A and B are shown apart, each in its own frame.
Chain A
């Protein structure tokens, strides 16, 4: 017993990355349990399904926790090509509608989730051998992210597309992009935007405007936002108590178990719960920052950066949109939101991080 406590203390102090992510998953399951109204076998059964995903994730950790992330470099272009093909299939299948899924029987997966990790690995592998300060290299990097960006943007999945941009900026930044290059990229984007705006169709513009101002569509996103704010605000300082949230139980928010899961936490555990949760999440993110600091090879450092940007981006955008300070783009809160693809990608990313950490301390 004493040994176990000691192990637990060490895990927290040494920031064992698996321990931290399991802890986040555990918090997620508690919130999901409340969101499923305490009924384990609901009609949708998302709580049970999430547990199956968690078990699958732990299984993945068991198998791969000792593998070497550098082996990934050999087959990364194959995975990159596969991802592009899958994204293309999703796009064709969706026929321009908001479709993000590929179904394999009972199991649906979202190629755009896996695309994030694949892009991080591909871009890092490419930039670890070349100098980003050369414009031709920067241009190729732009292309590596640009193709999947375009396919995801067309779906349309604006949230994931934004995360792609963040990943690109994060990795090239740590790879040593110059200030001049940053200014050129920035100016290009600024000058291109009115041009793109001009060639967009009316309904596409309307979509962007609603995206920037949800209240333009009071029946859709505006409704979600208002309900989201009521849910969070009504939590107060200490919250309504576990399983006692009224807003989420009455199905005001249609996506409370996926994109708006933070509302459930804020309503039931209040401002106090929010502070503790944000600190725990920051603790996890700061661990990744440490891995970026200590990693010795360029590939590992860039991969860790990309994963950091991915988690931090999701965390900030997801909370930002539920709080009404960021447009509603529909991206999940890693480890917490219901969703198999998102959870597995998060766990795979943690396995990669752990491998980077291990190999940087071997020398």
Chain B
């Protein structure tokens, strides 16, 4: 019975404590709390969250936060909407309808500050300060803005920041994301957002009737985000971007020994400082936000002949010196099949067929091989499958089934087959290193603001394909000759041995919607491959793509011999 009574007294004691506390709050401190309650004057102000810095492999800054000034308002404190819109629209370059929509919207917490405009000019700031008496509830607030050091040159690689959307918020709410947060919307900024974003800080203040700060109740220091070091080499990124110039297409550079991406450029690109202009799709039918390297799905064209050759030599369908006559045309089941060279290549073996990219030769070999073998080898080299690169939204491409494809078209990379440029870069790297399929990657290290390494990404071999050394020798020799005297001649660089393959596809892919494109994949130096490059030119020719790749390699390996922009620019669209 003692113990039961103890329970009772225990509870009674705490009930007294609670009532005493209520007495204190509701009777003793009543005037104070009542005052606070009628004025509704407690505000929470978030201070900017410094986001992590993005570095290239050599420590050059690609993106960082810099201070900026924002225009904000407290929905509850806006008393005369129309008057304030009138004044504001004269000061800042904002649409009246936009202002009205923002100011009159229902907010879940009407005391939270909402950003009206970012990056105010000093003129705007002084005008707002001057009119502050007529603009109750509207303030200038210190904030931060993201600076992309290389601007449009890295826009697809790094992505951009945008206010969190409703659907993103629902998914990320439990990770501490809140309404109005800026989060990465594409590229590295999106992929590594969780690491890059900091923990928001803020202060809790008492404000007067005009919304001006009077007393601070509490303060929380924000915690800056972590920095990320990429595999990207800013110098190569710049070279790639410059050589691609204003052409529509893309370039990616990779280390075939590890899968580290050294450069990734896609055109047309967007200016991360002026997103609104680019986000209007009607003005930009060429899709400036499409990262062609990972999302562009193109037929591989003649680059696929690498697969056809490996399959034929490995299976033994053909020997090194077996010859086939190319007359420029061949007839299969009432269908006429053309070589790209009308007069034909004459009698060629595989050592000549690859450099000249002879369609008749590879078509004949492909028919002997059969569709299912071609598909098997394409899959062996992971074509038609996302490479797993650490960027959001990678497309997979498409490998047709044996019912959909015919061997003649498939052996030269035409028909329903599509691949992404990054897959073809991975393919040429696999040839360069002798059979290892590395997973392409961009994130190298994540470093905390204090300098500790939080995470290190190690190169990952996804798969090793066995290729006979004899096959490899024949293939590599052929690829070298593509540049030495074949279709990729314009990639030739004096003093550097390059091996590569051109590709042109007549059929448009649904994604990009273009009639033809030129492509080139290559690696160098031939004896000790260190760099692999892929170049795609929408509306362009493959020799032109080869030329760009050559220039890029030249500037990487022989930097002192930079040439002036030459006069060949005019003839680039000729085959």
Q: Which residues of A contact B (CB under 8 A)?
A: 94, 97-99, 170, 173-174, 176, 215-219, 222-223, 226-227, 229-237, 246-247, 250-252, 254, 266, 270-271, 274-275, 278, 282, 285-286, 289, 292-293, 305, 308-309, 312, 316, 319-320, 323-325
CB pair B26 A251 closer than 8 Å: no
Chain A interface SS verdict (over half): helix
* B213 to A: closest C-beta gap in Å: 14
Interface string of B30-55 (1 = CB under 8 A from A): 10111011101010101000000000
Decide: A278 and B18 in contact? CB cutoff 8 A: yes
In the complex, the answer to whether A236 meets B30 with C-beta atoms within 8 Å is: yes
Sample 10 A-B pairs with CB under 8 A, ordered by A number. A216-B220, A218-B202, A219-B46, A223-B204, A233-B33, A233-B34, A246-B37, A282-B15, A312-B11, A323-B22
B562 contacts partner chain A, Cβ-Cβ < 8 Å:
no
Residue of B at shortest CB range from A176? Answer: B3
- With A174-B3, A323-B21 known as contacts, the answer to whether A219 contacts B204 (CB < 8 A) is yes
CB distance from B572 to the nearest CB of A (A): 52
Q: Residue B276 at the A interface, CB < 8 A?
A: no
Q: In the complex, are the beta carbons of A289 and B220 less than 8 A apart?
A: no
Q: How far is the CB of A114 from chain B (nearest CB, A)?
A: 22
Which of A227, A246, A278, A289 has a CB less than 8 Å from the CB of B7?
A: A289
Query: B19 within 8 Å of A by Cβ?
Result: yes
Task: Find out whether the CB atom of A218 lies under 8 angstroms from the CB atom of B218.
Answer: yes
Q: How many Å from the CB of A138 to the closest CB on chain B?
A: 16
Complex alpha-carbon distance, A308 and B10, angstroms? 12
Q: Is the CB of A219 within 8 A of B202?
A: yes
Are B204 and A266 interface neighbours, CB within 8 A?
no
CB distance from B334 to the nearest CB of A (A): 59
Given contacts A99-B174, A174-B4, A325-B17, contact A237 B42 (CB under 8 A): no
> B3–A236 contact, CB under 8 A?
no
A326→B217 CA distance, assembly (Å): 20
Report whether A275 and B19 are in contact in the complex, using a CB–CB cutoff of 8 Å. yes
The residue from A173, A271, A308, A319 contacting B3, defined by CB atoms under 8 A apart: A173
In the bound complex, do residue A235 and residue B3 qualify as a contact, i.e. CB atoms below 8 Å apart? no
Contact surface of B with A, Cβ cutoff 8 Å: 1, 3-4, 6-8, 11-12, 14-15, 17-19, 21-23, 25-27, 29-30, 32-34, 36-38, 40, 42, 44, 46, 76, 108-111, 174-175, 200, 202-204, 217-220
Contact residues in A for B46 (Cβ distance below 8 Å): 219
Given A289-B4, A323-B25: A234 touches B34 (CB 8 Å cut-off): yes
Taking a contact as CB atoms under 8 Å apart, the answer to whether A219 and B220 are in contact is yes
Contacts of A94 in B (CB 8 A): 174
State the CA gap A53–B38 with chains docked (Å).
35
Query: Contacts A222-B218, A237-B30: A293 and B42 contacting too (C-beta < 8 A)?
Result: no
- Other A-B contacts than A219-B204, A271-B27, A278-B15, 17 sampled, CB-CB below 8 A, are A94-B174, A222-B204, A226-B42, A233-B25, A236-B27, A236-B30, A236-B34, A237-B27, A237-B30, A246-B37, A252-B42, A271-B23, A278-B18, A323-B18, A325-B17, A325-B18, A325-B21
Q: Which residues of B contact A173 (CB under 8 A)?
A: 3, 6-7
**Contact between A229 and B25, CB atoms less than 8 A apart:** yes
* Residue numbers in B under 8 Å from A320 (CB-CB): 14, 18
CB of A297 to closest CB in B, whole Å? 15
Residue of A nearest to B218 (CB): A218
Which 4 A/B pairs are nearest by Cβ-Cβ distance? Answer: A218-B218, A233-B33, A234-B37, A97-B174
Closest B residue to A95 by beta carbon equals B174
Total number of residue pairs linking A and B with CB closer than 8 Å: 134
- Distance in angstroms between the alpha carbons of A94 and B38 in the assembled complex: 40
Chain B: minimal CB distance from A323 (Å) = 5
Query: Contacts of B17 on A, CB cut-off 8 Å?
Result: 325
Q: With both chains docked as a complex, state the minimum distance between the C-beta of A284 and any C-beta of chain B, in angstroms.
A: 11
Give A286 Cβ to nearest chain B Cβ, in Å: 7
Report whether over half of chain B's contact residues are helix, strand or loop; otherwise say mixed. helix
Contacts A230-B42, A278-B19, A319-B18: A285 and B11 contacting too (C-beta < 8 A)? yes
Instruction: Report Cα–Cα, A104/B7, bound state, in Å.
Output: 39
Does A234 contact B40, Cβ atoms closer than 8 Å? no
**Contacts known (A271-B23, A289-B7); A223 close to B34, Cβ less than 8 A:** no
Contact A274 B22 (CB under 8 A): yes
Contacts of B32 in A (CB 8 A): 233
Contacting pair B22 A271 (CB below 8 A): yes
C-alpha spacing A316/B17, complex, angstroms: 10
- Nearest chain A CB to B281's CB is how many angstroms away? 33
| Given known A99-B174, A312-B11, A316-B11, contact A230–B26 (CB-CB < 8 A) | no
Contacts of A278 in B (CB 8 A): 15, 18-19
Q: With A235-B26, A278-B18 known to touch, is A219 a contact of B44 (CB < 8 Å)?
A: yes
The distance in angstroms between the C-alpha atoms of A282 and B6, with both chains bound, is 15
Partner of A218, one of B23, B76, B108, B203: B203
Q: Which residues of A contact B18 (CB under 8 A)?
A: 278, 316, 319-320, 323, 325
Q: Please report the C-alpha to C-alpha distance between residue A319 and residue B204 in the assembled complex, in whole angstroms.
A: 24
- Name the one of B3, B7, B26, B217 contacting A232, with C-beta atoms under 8 angstroms: B26
Chain A residues lying within 8 Å of B218, measured Cβ to Cβ, are 215, 218, 222, 226
Residue of B nearest to A289 (CB): B8
**Chain B residues, CB < 8 A from A230:** 33, 36-37, 42
Chain A residue at smallest Cβ distance from B34: A234
A233 contacts B29, C-beta separation under 8 Å: yes
Cβ–Cβ contact B26 & A97, under 8 A: no
Instruction: Specify which chain B residues have a CB less than 8 angstroms from the CB of A235 in the assembled complex.
Output: 26
B220 surroundings in chain A (CB, below 8 A): 216-219
Bound Cα distance A231, B25 (Å): 10
What is the CA–CA distance of A173 and B6 in the complex, to the nearest angstrom?
10
What residues of chain A lie closer than 8 Å to B219, measured between beta carbons?
Answer: 218
Which residues of chain B come closer than 8 Å to A247, judged between CB atoms? 37
Please name the residue on chain B nearest to A98 by beta carbon: B174
**Of all chain A residues, which has the CB nearest B111?**
A252
Alpha-carbon distance A287/B72, docked complex (angstroms): 56
Expressed in whole angstroms, the minimum distance between the Cβ of B533 and any Cβ of chain A is 40
Minimum CB distance partner of A222 in chain B: B218
Chain A residues within an 8 Å CB radius of B22: 232, 266, 271, 274-275, 323
Q: Which A residues are CB-close (under 8 A) to B44?
A: 218-219, 223
Residues on A with beta carbons closer than 8 Å to the beta carbon of B27: 236-237, 271
For the complex, what is the distance from the CA of A209 to the CA of B146, rounded to whole Å? 33
For residue B332, give the distance in angstroms from its CB to the closest CB of chain A: 56
CB-based nearest B residue for A170: B7
B36 contacts A234, C-beta separation under 8 Å: yes
B4 proximity list for chain A (CB < 8 A)? 174, 289, 292-293
Shortest A234–chain B CB gap in Å is 4
Q: Which chain A residues lie closer than 8 Å to B202 at the CB level?
A: 218-219
The residue of chain A having its C-beta at the shortest distance from the C-beta of B12 within the complex is A282
Contact for B26 among A223, A274, A325, CB less than 8 A:
A274
**CA of A190 to CA of B220 in the docked complex: distance in angstroms?**
31
B15 near A246: Cβ-Cβ < 8 Å:
no
- For the complex, give the distance between the alpha carbons of A210 and B62 in Å: 36
**A250 and B110: CB pair below 8 A?**
yes
Min Cβ gap B208→A in Å is: 17
| B7 near A229: Cβ-Cβ < 8 Å | no
